[in-house]
């Protein structure tokens, strides 16, 4: 089927805007009135460990999910990029599951990692956008992310849909393992169901982020900071920015700032901080203040409460809707994507087909 830009200047812009709709589709599939719609033979009760493997943006989706599996389901998670995993001969417990996340389902390294796991683990699970793909076919269980065709090389809607499927898996794991009551599950399902509406509101920040991005497009280096599950989101924000705007960007765990990257701070280096007002907020803010004390210019992405507390001295603020702590990374993906998009447009790069990159990397 021919996919069109439908009035948008780029596929990436269209795919960012589609997120409330496709997330809604995925929610409808995985969350029903009776509970989670996941295969019953995917039973986490007696599983000792989970291995998550992917490349690129899909790897950052896994990195967020690690926080969910560990905190909700008390399930130890090992995680690696496929190109490392496949060669380091990792020992895998037979009572473990291995999950492979891939938009295309054809990434060579991820496929090789999956083949390595066959016969070694209790089950292999694919989280893919293309149900007919090699990774889907060769896995014991394939879960579609239902994002629809993604054309832009930089992955956007696939990322949020991958997160939704992984969140559903984490909730199932928590239930299976006796770490979540039925009532808690229902509550978390409600939290997931409000996400499309929240994403729509985040998309309304498009013009604000466009203006900020004009300034960002002048930068040589940009730093992204986050804590907890916002840390992998900082990594994803940096990846998006470098992929399509060619500006050097790094994502860092806020608390790790003082162990190196703080040396880079000067008045020319924008620092983008993802910090919803959650239990880790104060810690992140104190790292942010260390940046400002050294003349760094901070773009703080937070919610009303967070901005009330911490806006002073900040270069730019972006006010996000309030969101349940657990699923904030799904919402904060939107400003991360829009910042990269508008910065790239301001720089005049080829947003949908960035130089040297391919949508699907089917060779090693």
d(CA 178, CA 307) in angstroms, rounded, equals: 37
- Tell me the sheet residues that pair with 121: none
Only segment of 53-61, 180-188, 207-215, 229-237 that touches ligand G6P (CB under 6 A): 53-61
Q: Minimum Å distance from CB 199 to ligand G6P? A: 19
Closest CB to ligand G6P among residues 242, 297:
242
The residues in 220-279 that bind ligand G6P, with binding defined as CB under 6 A, are none
**87 φ, ψ (degrees, to nearest 5):** -110, -10
When binding is defined by CB under 6 A, the residue of 20, 56, 251, 270 that contacts ligand G6P is: 56
**Residue 208: HSE in the Cβ half-sphere, 13 Å Cα cutoff:** 16
Q: Which of 50, 30, 46 is nearest to 38 (CA)?
A: 30
Closest CB to ligand G6P among residues 101, 225:
101
Closest CB to ligand G6P among residues 189, 233:
233
Interaction between residue 55 and ligand G6P (CB under 6 A): yes
Q: Minimum Å distance from CB 220 to ligand G6P? A: 23
Q: Where in the sequence numbering do the catalytic residues fall?
A: 359
The residues in 70-129 that bind ligand G6P, with binding defined as CB under 6 A, are 102-104, 107, 110
d(CA 48, CA 114) in angstroms, rounded, equals: 19
Q: Minimum Å distance from CB 253 to ligand G6P? A: 21
Q: Which residues contact 164 (CB under 8 A, 6 or more apart)?
A: 23, 26, 27, 30, 145, 192, 195, 330
**Residue 318: HSE in the Cβ half-sphere, 13 Å Cα cutoff:** 29
The residues in 301-360 that bind ligand G6P, with binding defined as CB under 6 A, are 357, 359-360
With 0-12 / 13-18 / 19 or more C-beta atoms within 10 angstroms meaning exposed / middle / buried, residue 315 is: middle
Closest CB to ligand G6P among residues 136, 212:
136
Interaction between residue 58 and ligand G6P (CB under 6 A): yes
What is the Rg, in whole angstroms, of the alpha carbon atoms belonging to the chain?
20
Q: Minimum Å distance from CB 364 to ligand G6P? A: 13
The residues in 152-191 that bind ligand G6P, with binding defined as CB under 6 A, are 153-155
Q: Show the DSSP H helices in 139-280 as ranges.
A: 157-176, 182-193, 195-203, 206-216, 230-245
Closest CB to ligand G6P among residues 239, 299:
239
Q: Minimum Å distance from CB 150 to ligand G6P? A: 8
Helix (H) or strand (E) holding 307: helix 304-310
State the residues that interact with ligand G6P by CB under 6 A.
Answer: 55-58, 102-104, 107, 110, 153-155, 357, 359-361
């Amino acid at each position: 089927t021919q996919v069109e830009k439908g009035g948008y200047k780029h596929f990436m812009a269209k795919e960012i805007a589609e997120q409330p709709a496709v997330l809604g589709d995925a929610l409808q599939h995985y969350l029903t009135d009776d509970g989670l719609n996941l295969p019953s033979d995917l039973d986490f009760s007696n599983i000792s460990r989970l291995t998550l493997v992917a490349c690129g943006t899909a790897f950052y989706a896994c990195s967020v999910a690690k926080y969910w599996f560990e905190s909700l389901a008390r399930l130890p998670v090992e995680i690696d990029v496929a190109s490392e995993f496949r060669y380091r001969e990792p020992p895998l417990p037979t009572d473990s599951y291995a999950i492979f996340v891939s938009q295309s389902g054809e990434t060579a390294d991820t496929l090789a990692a999956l083949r390595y796991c066959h016969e070694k683990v209790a089950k292999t699970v694919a989280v893919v956008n293309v149900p007919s793909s090699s990774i889907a076919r060769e896995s014991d269980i394939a879960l579609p992310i239902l994002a629809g065709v993604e054309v832009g090389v930089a992955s956007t809607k696939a990322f949020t849909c991958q997160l939704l499927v992984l969140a559903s898996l984490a909730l199932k794991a928590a239930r299976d393992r006796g770490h979540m009551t039925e009532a808690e599950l229902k509550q978390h399902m409600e939290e997931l169901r409000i996400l499309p509406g929240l994403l729509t509101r985040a998309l309304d920040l498009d013009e604000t982020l466009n203006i900020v991005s004009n300034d960002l497009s002048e930068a040589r280096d940009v730093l992204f900071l986050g804590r907890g599950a916002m840390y992998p989101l900082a990594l994803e924000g940096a990846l998006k920015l470098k992929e399509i705007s060619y500006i050097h960007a790094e994502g860092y765990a806020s608390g790790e700032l003082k162990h190196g990257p703080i040396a880079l701070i000067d008045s020319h280096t924008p620092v983008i901080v993802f910090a919803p007002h959650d239990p880790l907020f104060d810690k992140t803010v104190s790292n942010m203040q260390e940046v400002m004390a050294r003349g760094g210019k901070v773009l703080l992405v937070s919610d009303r409460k967070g901005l009330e507390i911490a806006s002073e001295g900040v270069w730019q603020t972006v006010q996000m809707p309030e969101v349940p702590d657990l699923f904030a990374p799904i919402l904060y993906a939107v400003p991360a994507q829009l910042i990269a998009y508008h910065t790239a447009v301001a720089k005049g790069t080829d947003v949908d087909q960035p130089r040297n990159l391919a949508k699907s990397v089917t060779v090693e």
